Amino acid sequence: MLTSARQLLDLAAQAADYKLGERNNTALLFFFIIVAITLVITYWAAKKTKTSSEFYAAGRSVSAAQNGLALAGDYMSAASFLGISGMVAMKGYDGMVYATGWLVGWPALMFLVAEPLRNLGKFTFADVVAFRLRQTPVRIASAIGGILTVLFYTIAQMVGSGNLIKLMFGIPYLWAEIIVGVVMLAYVLFGGMLATTWVQIIKACLLLFGVSLLTVLVLVKVGAPTDLYAKVAHEYGQKMLEPGALAKNPLEAVSLGLALMLGLLGLPHILMRFYTVPDAKAARKSVLYATGLIGYFYIIIPIVGFGAAVLIPGGQAAIKAIDAGGNMAAPVLALTLGGTPFLGFIAAVAFATILAVVAGLTLAGASAYSHDIYVNVIKKGKATEEEQMHAAKRATIVFGIFAVGLGILFKGQNVAFMVGLAFSIAASANFPALFMSIVWKRFSTQGAVAAMLTGAFLSVGMILLSPTVWVDVFHNASAIIPLKNPCVISMTASFIVGIVVSLLSPDPLAQAKFEDEKLRTYLGVGAE
């Protein structure tokens, strides 16, 4: 099974080498231009990044529109761009169901946590959970949930990126991982949040521009979207335009939907973006910008996918020959429509996308350690500015090395379950505790710790016993837990455990502080 997968990959690489051949040079040229521009920005940002507030939160000086673009940049990963266009090209409508799921978390983020988060926190979401509770246990539990989420998300990005870069640029997997690691570390280490924000902004603009251009070129060639659908139905049958296998099991579909929607509200690298804006009003506006940009992206990306299926010579079979998962649909479409320079551009955009997302994740992982564990637990909140910055940079380097190492270690693994894990842990460990700490007066230290640990370990455990790992990875005949995504159970359990334990262990001081906290939560009084 494993050898056949490897053979397939080799075959795909050979096919890519054969088909993409010397075009690699164009792609590399575009890539170096993009990296050079972003490094200049990092150099400029580095001169401004001196305090920990500048390192983690860009001095809280990012505007709402900039933050909206950066949020979109953080969220629209290569998985969204290459994965969804590929899924639409190969499977048709089902790809659109995914696209919808990736968007609906944003309004929920706005209604439930965006503004309170900005008003209560400083650098990480743990600031909000720990606001009126006992610091040490809550910070440690939040860091476990936060780091686990970021780690699984990072592994998925690194493994995916290694394969993609190997296919597109012809660079060996190992080198691809190391290049991503080194360039990403340069952004984060020297420029901190300010450089990372600008890298996200540039990447979001490039990605939106690239996908828009692909869409326009497809429509110029084919006509209106209805003409495109007609062509698709003519070549591959009406089934391509109908929802299929994805939502056959309603409980599974709802569980996946919950993980996608509420997982967003627990993703540490997204949540820490809200501290880069000056106030809650800007936080709110930035969510609107992000929702608009990401919504636009997900509305047009299926056109790219359908376009790839009908415009690439050889259609689905040709796309599949290059990459079995269909991930190369958009780049090959670019080659078909605009020749090698356009392929080079799209390949470079995909690379920049991976780089930027990994940079955001590394910053979030590093801050979970240095701010929550080092400063607040080890140093009891009494670290000097210098010590904080040193801890942050040390943590960044360690996290970066870990990211590259894990990317190499997990080579060839199924990345889908790691993304599923990241979203499940985020929705089950981080979101319930964050939400209850904002709205529920009687939430206690013990309740918070119990909720976070229950959510984290239950979702990890249930995924290990689910078909994605128990059957696909360990090759057992049937799964112990039939659900592919455990969110509906693990998130509910986290809420119930948090409520029951809080009621059993009342914390009068925390309840007294809740009233004080309200002025800050709703009016922004005392917010940093």
Partner 1 sequence: MAYTASNISRAEPKINQSATQVIESADFKRLVSLRWTVSMVLLALLFVTYYGYILLIPYAPEFMTTKIGEVTTAAIPIGVGVIVVAFVLTAFYVGWANKSYDPEVERLKNTLRK
Question: What is the DSSP code string of 84-146?
Answer: IHHHHHHHTTHHHHHHHHHHTHHHHHIIIIIHHHHHH-SSSHHHHHTTTS-HHHHHHHHHHHH
Residue 277 CB, shortest distance to partner 1, in Å, is 14
Residue of 439, 500, 503, 504 interacting with partner 1 (CB under 8 A): 439
Residue 159 or 301: which CB sits closer to partner 1? 301
Residue 448 CB, shortest distance to partner 1, in Å, is 13
Q: CB atoms < 10 A from the CB of 473, how many?
A: 13
Residues 253-282 that bind partner 1 (CB under 8 A): 253-254, 257, 261, 281
Is 384 among the residues that bind partner 1 (CB under 8 A)? no
Residue of 409, 503, 504, 519 interacting with partner 1 (CB under 8 A): 519
Tokens (6 digits) for 326: 């269909």
- Quick check: 411 and 160 in contact, CB under 8 A? no
Is 509 among the residues that bind partner 1 (CB under 8 A)? yes
Is 386 among the residues that bind partner 1 (CB under 8 A)? no
Is 383 among the residues that bind partner 1 (CB under 8 A)? no
Distance (Å) of CA 467 to CA 247, 400, 425, 428: 16, 31, 17, 19
- Cα dihedral 193, 197, 200, 202, rounded to 10, equals -130
Residue of 235, 242, 385, 386 interacting with partner 1 (CB under 8 A): 242
Residue of 223, 243, 405, 412 interacting with partner 1 (CB under 8 A): 243
Quote the CA–CA distance of 119 and 175 in Å, as a whole number. Answer: 42
Is 524 among the residues that bind partner 1 (CB under 8 A)? yes
Q: CB atoms < 10 A from the CB of 471, how many?
A: 15
Residue 432 CB, shortest distance to partner 1, in Å, is 15
- Which residues have a Cβ under 8 Å from the Cβ of 380 and sit 6 or more positions away? 135
Is 442 among the residues that bind partner 1 (CB under 8 A)? no
Question: What is the DSSP code string of 425-487?
Answer: HIIIIIHHHHHHHHH-TT--HHHHHHHHHHHHHHHHHHHHTSIIIIITTT--SS-SS--S--H
Is 230 among the residues that bind partner 1 (CB under 8 A)? yes
Is 474 among the residues that bind partner 1 (CB under 8 A)? no
Residue 108 or 174: which CB sits closer to partner 1? 108
Residue 491 CB, shortest distance to partner 1, in Å, is 14
Is 111 among the residues that bind partner 1 (CB under 8 A)? yes
Residue 289 CB, shortest distance to partner 1, in Å, is 10
Residue 56 or 229: which CB sits closer to partner 1? 229
Is 112 among the residues that bind partner 1 (CB under 8 A)? yes
Counting every residue written for the chain, the total comes to 528
Is 103 among the residues that bind partner 1 (CB under 8 A)? yes
The residue to which tokens 């939502």 are assigned: 247
Residue 50 or 281: which CB sits closer to partner 1? 281
Residue of 160, 295, 307, 344 interacting with partner 1 (CB under 8 A): 295
Quote the CA–CA distance of 344 and 412 in Å, as a whole number. Answer: 25
Is 398 among the residues that bind partner 1 (CB under 8 A)? no
In the chain, how many H helices and how many E strands? 24, 0
Residues at the contact surface with partner 1, assessed by CB under 8 A: 93, 96-97, 99-101, 103-104, 106-108, 110-112, 132, 134-136, 226, 229-230, 232-233, 238, 241-243, 246-250, 253-254, 257, 261, 281, 284-285, 287-288, 291-292, 295, 298-299, 376, 380-381, 439, 509, 512-513, 515-516, 518-519, 522-525
